[in-house]
């Protein structure tokens, strides 16, 4: 049995990963400050939940004691919030990540997997984006994640820490009810019979990745050694926001809704999808879930979850 620390393990991706790890019989500790994550979602047998903040080196050092591997997910995750408050974003994503790396080093952790981002660190580039491109973040969120990657690379180079950076695309799926990302926002709005709000002309594109495929990529990066490497983890498909609205209409028959267009938001990129060739080649990664199927399962999850009023969670 391997002991894992999952920072941010009470969040959307965290809960999905923690469930997969416990199903494999691994021992999991979570470090989370519950700023967006929910304690109840992590109430699984055998989980050691430590409530603390990654900005607190003492808390991170304690959480790393006796740990074999760390998946570092805890972060200030919203582009729009980072534009409003770049300082907090820097403290959580850059300093917090350095704290996690320092604690991994002190505890002789065997591997540290860092949750990075594809679109936000690279900025406006001609897609498909790939690992060979020079990053040009256009938001403080992208800049802080790039700083996190730089420190992961540096801790590998300077101290031999086995770090790997996974650049997630736009992830959707169960347990995302609190997220500001587009699929979660649309599904919350649909549950409340509100129109879907599209910022800009809706022709902007994203690469939507179902969370099970992301968890599979994390498990592959865990099992295969590629120290100091960065990988795009995405579906490899480009979907416009208008296209997403149409797919939702198709996969949820009978659901009637309007789409309202508003001004584009600052710091958001126009086109994004990724090449996943490197992850395919070096990790054997192949995303399996089609957008239609992923949206159907996510909608089913929202329906079952929102049996309870949202404000109770």
Active site residues: 141
Cβ pair 10, 74 in contact under 8 A: no
Nearer to ligand NAD, 14 or 140 (CB): 14
Nearer to ligand NAD, 233 or 245 (CB): 233
Estimate the crossing angle of helix 182-191 against helix 241-251, to 10 degrees.
40
Is residue 235 part of the contact set for ligand NAD (CB under 6 A)? no
Is residue 36 part of the contact set for ligand NAD (CB under 6 A)? yes
Letters for 206-225 (x = contact with ligand NAD by CB under 6 A, - = none) are --------------------
Nearer to ligand NAD, 115 or 138 (CB): 115
Q: Where are the beta strands (DSSP E) in the chain?
A: 3-7, 27-32, 48-51, 69-72, 111-117, 163-168, 170-172, 196-199, 205-206, 208-210, 229-233, 239-240, 259-262
Is residue 123 part of the contact set for ligand NAD (CB under 6 A)? no
Concatenated DSSP letters of 187-236 = HHHHHTTPPEEEESSS--EE-EEEHHHHHHHHHHHHHS--TTEEEEES-S
CA distance linking residue 65 with residue 215, whole number of Å: 24
Residues numbered 74-93 forming contacts with ligand NAD, rule: CB under 6 A: 74-77, 92
Binding residue for ligand NAD (CB under 6 A) from 63, 67, 98, 115?
Answer: 115
Residue range at the interface with ligand NAD (CB under 6 A); choices 5-13, 19-27, 81-89, 244-252: 5-13
Is residue 184 part of the contact set for ligand NAD (CB under 6 A)? no
The two most distant CA atoms of the chain are separated, in Å, by 58
Residue range at the interface with ligand NAD (CB under 6 A); choices 4-12, 105-113, 257-265, 287-295: 4-12
Rounded to 5°, the CA angle 79-231-150 comes to: 65
Binding residue for ligand NAD (CB under 6 A) from 5, 21, 28, 53?
Answer: 53
Rounded to 5°, the CA angle 62-53-117 comes to: 110
Is residue 273 part of the contact set for ligand NAD (CB under 6 A)? no
Nearer to ligand NAD, 162 or 181 (CB): 181
255 burial type by CB count under 10 A (0-12 exposed, 13-18 middle, 19+ buried): exposed
Binding residue for ligand NAD (CB under 6 A) from 18, 21, 32, 244?
Answer: 32
Minimum Å distance from CB 213 to ligand NAD? Answer: 12
Minimum Å distance from CB 191 to ligand NAD? Answer: 18
Is residue 168 part of the contact set for ligand NAD (CB under 6 A)? yes
Nearer to ligand NAD, 36 or 239 (CB): 36
Cβ pair 252, 300 in contact under 8 A: no
Binding residue for ligand NAD (CB under 6 A) from 4, 5, 11, 128?
Answer: 11
Question: How, if at all, do strands 27-32 and 48-51 pair?
Answer: parallel
Binding residue for ligand NAD (CB under 6 A) from 4, 5, 6, 13?
Answer: 13
Is residue 60 part of the contact set for ligand NAD (CB under 6 A)? no
CA distance linking residue 146 with residue 122, whole number of Å: 9
Minimum Å distance from CB 136 to ligand NAD? Answer: 17
Question: How, if at all, do strands 239-240 and 205-206 pair?
Answer: antiparallel
Spatial strand order of the sheet with 229-233 comes to 48-51, 27-32, 3-7, 69-72, 111-117, 163-168, 229-233
Residues that bind ligand NAD (CB under 6 A): 8, 10-14, 32-37, 53-55, 73-77, 92, 96, 115, 117, 168, 170-171, 179, 181
């Amino acid at each position: 049995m391997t002991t894992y620390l999952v920072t941010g393990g009470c969040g959307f991706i965290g809960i999905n990963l923690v469930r997969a790890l416990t199903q494999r019989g691994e021992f999991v500790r979570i470090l989370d400050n519950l700023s967006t994550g929910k304690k109840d979602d992590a109430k699984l047998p055998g989980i050691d939940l430590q409530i603390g903040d990654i900005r607190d080196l003492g808390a991170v050092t304690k959480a790393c004691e006796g740990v074999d591997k760390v998946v570092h997910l805890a972060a200030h995750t919203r582009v729009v919030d980072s534009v409003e408050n770049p300082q907090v974003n820097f403290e959580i994503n850059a300093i917090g990540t350095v704290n996690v790396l320092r604690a991994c080093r002190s505890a002789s952790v065997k591997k540290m997997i860092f949750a990075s981002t594809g679109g936000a660190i690279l900025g406006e580039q001609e897609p498909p984006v790939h690992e060979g491109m020079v990053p040009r973040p256009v938001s403080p969120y992208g800049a802080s994640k790039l700083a996190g990657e730089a420190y992961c690379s540096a801790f590998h180079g300077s101290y031999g820490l086995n770090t790997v950076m996974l650049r997630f695309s736009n992830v959707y799926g169960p347990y995302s009810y609190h997220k500001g990302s587009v699929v979660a926002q649309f599904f919350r709005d649909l549950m409340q019979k509100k129109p879907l709000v599209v910022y800009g002309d809706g022709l902007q594109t994203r690469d939507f990745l179902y969370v099970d495929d992301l968890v599979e990529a994390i498990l592959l990066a865990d099992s295969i050694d590629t120290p100091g490497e960065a990988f795009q983890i995405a579906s490899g498909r480009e979907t416009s926001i208008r296209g997403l609205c149409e797919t939702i209409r198709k996969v949820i028959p009978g659901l009637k809704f309007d789409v309202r267009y508003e001004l584009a938001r600052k710091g958001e990129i126009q086109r994004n999808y990724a090449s996943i060739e490197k992850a395919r080649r070096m990790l054997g990664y192949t995303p399996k879930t089609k957008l239609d199927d992923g949206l159907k399962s996510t909608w089913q999850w929202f329906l079952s979850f929102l049996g309870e009023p949202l404000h109770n969670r």
